[in-house]
Amino acid sequence: MKSRFNVLKSVYENTVFRRAVLSLLSLLGLSLIIFTLARIVPGDPARMALGPRAPEEIVQKYREMLHLNEPIYVQYYYWLTNLFQGKLGISLTSFREVSVDIAEFLPATLELMLFVAIIQIAGTLILGTLSGSKPGSILDGALRVFTYVGICVPAFVWGLILQFIFSYVVGVFPATERLSPGITVPRITGLVTVDALATGNFRAFVDALWHLILPSLALALGAMAQEARILRSAMVENINKDYVLTLLSHGIPGYRIYFKYALKPSVASTIPVIGLDIASLIANAFMVEVIFNWPGISKFGITAMLKKDLNGIVGVVLMAGLIYTVTNVIVDLILTIIDPRLRYGEK
Amino acid sequence: MQGAGPLLSVKNLYVKYKSYWYTYHVLDDVSINVKLGEKVGLIGESGAGKTTLLKSILRVLPTQGKITGGEIFYKDVDLLRCSKQRLLEIRRKNVGMIFQDPLAALNPVFTVKDQMLEVLRYANERADMNKSDLINMALDLLRDTLIPDPERVLNSYPFQLSGGMRQRIVIAMALASARELLLADEPTTNIDVTIQAQILKLIGDLVEKKGLSMILVSHALGLVRKMTDRVYVMYGGNIAEEAPTSKLFNEPLHPYMQLLLKTAPKLVESPLTEGIKSIPIDYRNPPTGCVFHPRCPYGDQEVCRKVKPPPIEVEKGRFVRCHLYGSGS
């Protein structure tokens, strides 16, 4: 008899250790590539950081401080030793430790990602199942039109549309920022909703939630539409399988069959896409962050790239890589939990 | 049928499958009935519409399938027009169906227990039912189907079990709902030859023990002969012949059935048998007149090509759709 604990244990033994080692190696590879790439691209980081009017000797000094005159592998060595002390180097735009910058801007994006994930997953499961369980029905047709539009319209356009309708015309949701003026929340985790709950400030929690809805929707809609279509096609295939017809022949109500017995074998193809879409927000949320004036990491990353902020670029890309890796591990864990064949297959 | 009225009667059923480009006329004016306690066989080559017929009865056709005409009565309930709730009740408590492919009939990502308890919960709606009662019922059903170590099997995933074992589970599940009528759709097709006879015998014994009526679809003619009272022969979405089992096998009337019997291997004489000249039916555009005429040794008459033969009652309870046995007018 397999208990829940045993299931989790076998998942853990099979995947987690192997994946952890592989992930570290690929992150190391990623750092090497982005480190080199950032330095190969033309442009003088020191000059750009100090501005066109800075005297040449100061710029030269700055170059030496950043080891920019040394071979790339020596620079990489310096950077790596720094990394093992927990330092990513000084940002050339904010002139602070990059890790401090990341710690400041990342939580806003993480919070956004969290809510996008909730909306996206719930929406995908509901729309995909409704659409796929009755292919050809009116509801299916309507949902397919909606998902088509969802795929075609980019996130920032959704952002503008939502802002126009819900904050300008109707005026129910705030257009920008994370909190209304006058409401403050002490910074603990950086996730405003969590901090508000932790300090028992329920009013701030609701306010933060209210601010999150439009940007999350803007980011979720397109991805959700695409994922719902993937789920739909898997569903359409599975609802004619004998194991679904068998349950139908036993008089099990449709909603139980579709939302449980047909959904579970159908989601396998959708989950990796959901994972990737959510992870990609770390960089792709840029336009939406700009529109909603959201102090997130995407904005920081793009600025670093435009200003050729070497340490900033490497830091942000590595962090994005880390988030992708973690997401992939989570996706794999979910897949093994869903499909028992993956769980026992290896033994 | 006169008398007590049949348990199940299907009248003039038409079923079509629609794909994007084509319409397939799969069942064409099919009528069958099953009396209380009767075991009815349904034979015919692959693609004759047997599975479609069984799935139509419980209205569990795949999404492309549409019933376009006819009636299906279970006792006095019109299954095509009754309320959704009534249909669910009959599916839950009266009729059970064994699907053809045991490897496909169990959900790969749920345990046997998940699936059996789901079925049992709806087949036995009683307020005082709790989970351990349901588990005991599931174990009893598994024991009925002669599954060794039912506790282990109940907690397994389907892929951890053999084909024969899975077929027994499917049978056990069908029996949970089949209190009166069992629809067995080629229950031995996809399992080992050595197990096939065992499974069929098991089904026969259980049907006898529980006093069920049954429709048995099978290619194993010998077993159909042994297990059924009456047989329908299907060809190309039509009922070619209907007869009491012993009469059908001793003296087949329809040319298709005659040929079918000749294909059955025999121990004496030459072990190789002749097949039937094979032209699969194109259901998009079925042959005019008698659907069997392109393959029939007597099918070169004009009437066979032009007129669809009506069911002709040759003797009481014995129908054949063939122009050899009467005029088509």
CA distance to A89, A198, B72, B89, per residue, from B58 (Å): 70, 55, 9, 11
Rounded distance between C-alpha atoms, residue A58 and residue A60, angstroms: 5
User: Which residues in A lie closer than 8 A to residue B155 (C-beta atoms)?
Assistant: 1-2
Closest partner residue to A246 among B64, B105, B109, by Cβ? B105
Give the tens place of pLDDT for each residue, A253-299: 999 999 999 999 999 889 999 999 999 988 888 888 889 988 889 88
Distance from CA of A281 to the nearest CA of B (A): 31
User: Which residues in B lie closer than 8 A to residue A249 (C-beta atoms)?
Assistant: 58, 60, 91, 96-97, 99, 177
* Count of all residues that appear for chain B in the document: 329
Do the beta carbons of residue A232 and residue A142 sit within 8 Å?
A: no
Is residue B251 domain-resident? yes
User: What local confidence, expressed as pLDDT, does residue A131 receive?
Assistant: 93
Rounded distance between C-alpha atoms, residue B287 and residue B294, angstroms: 8
Are A251 and B92 within 8 A, CB to CB?
yes
Whether the pLDDT of residue B189 is over 70: the answer is yes
Do the beta carbons of residue B72 and residue B10 sit within 8 Å?
A: yes
User: What local confidence, expressed as pLDDT, does residue A346 receive?
Assistant: 46
The interface residues of chain A toward chain B in range 261-300, judged by CB-CB distance below 8 A, are 261, 264-265
Is residue B166 domain-resident? no
User: What local confidence, expressed as pLDDT, does residue A347 receive?
Assistant: 41
User: What local confidence, expressed as pLDDT, does residue B274 receive?
Assistant: 67
Is residue B175 domain-resident? no
Give the tens place of pLDDT for each residue, B67-90: 999 999 998 899 999 999 999 999
User: Which residues in A lie closer than 8 A to residue B138 (C-beta atoms)?
Assistant: none
Distance from CA of A117 to the nearest CA of B (A): 24
Closest partner residue to A242 among B63, B105, B109, by Cβ? B105
- CB of B163 within 8 Å of any CB in chain A? no
Are A256 and B157 within 8 A, CB to CB?
no
Check residues B263 and A281 and name the one with the higher pLDDT. A281
Instruction: Give one DSSP letter per residue of B75-93, joined into a string.
Output: TTEETTTS-HHHHHHHHHH
Residue of chain B nearest A344, judged by CA positions? B160
Q: What is the ipTM of this complex?
A: 0.89
User: What local confidence, expressed as pLDDT, does residue B34 receive?
Assistant: 94
Closest by CA to B187, choosing from B211, B161, B214, B209, is B214
Distance from CA of B92 to the nearest CA of A (A): 5
Rg (CA), chain B: 21
Whether the pLDDT of residue A3 is over 70: the answer is no
Mean pLDDT of the region B98-109: 88
CA distance to A272, B10, B140, per residue, from A347 (Å): 24, 50, 31
Are B60 and A248 within 8 A, CB to CB?
yes
Give the tens place of pLDDT for each residue, B30-49: 999 999 999 999 998 888 88
User: Which residues in A lie closer than 8 A to residue B89 (C-beta atoms)?
Assistant: 251
User: What local confidence, expressed as pLDDT, does residue A245 receive?
Assistant: 93
Structure tokens at B152: 């282990």
- CB of B96 within 8 Å of any CB in chain A? yes
Is residue B143 domain-resident? no
Is residue B260 domain-resident? yes
Per-position b or e across A17-26, b if 16+ CB within 10 A of its CB: eebeeebeee
Lowest mean pLDDT across A174-183, B93-102, B154-163, B175-184? A174-183
Q: How many H-runs (helices) and E-runs (strands) does chain A carry?
A: 18, 0
Per-position b or e across B235-245, b if 16+ CB within 10 A of its CB: bbbbbbbbbbb
Q: Which of B63, B103, B106 to mutate to test the interface with A (most CBs of A within 10 A)?
A: B63
Instruction: Give one DSSP letter per residue of B160-199, joined into a string.
Output: GS-HHHHHHHHHHHHHHH-SSEEEEESTTTTS-HHHHHHH
* Structural domains in chain B (count): 1
Closest partner residue to A250 among B91, B106, B159, by Cβ? B91
- CB of A161 within 8 Å of any CB in chain B? no
Boundaries of domain holding B232: 8-109+181-195+210-325
Whether the pLDDT of residue A7 is over 90: the answer is no
Mean pLDDT of the region B181-203: 84
Half-sphere exposure of A276 (CA within 13 A, CB side): 7
Rounded distance between C-alpha atoms, residue B199 and residue B221, angstroms: 15
- CB of B56 within 8 Å of any CB in chain A? no
Is residue B203 domain-resident? no
Is residue B130 domain-resident? no
Give the tens place of pLDDT for each residue, A8-40: 676 666 666 777 888 889 999 999 999 999 888
User: Which residues in B lie closer than 8 A to residue A241 (C-beta atoms)?
Assistant: 104
Domains in chain A and their CATH numbers? 100-306 (1.10.3720.10)
Are B106 and A246 within 8 A, CB to CB?
yes
Check residues B45 and B95 and name the one with the higher pLDDT. B95
- CB of A6 within 8 Å of any CB in chain B? no
Are A2 and B177 within 8 A, CB to CB?
no
The CATH number assigned to the domain holding B73 equals: 3.40.50.300
Is residue B201 domain-resident? no
- CB of A245 within 8 Å of any CB in chain B? yes
- Give the 3-state secondary structure of B35-64: CCCCEEEEECCCCCCHHHHHHHHCCCCCCC
Whether the pLDDT of residue A107 is over 80: the answer is yes
Structure tokens at B279: 């032209």
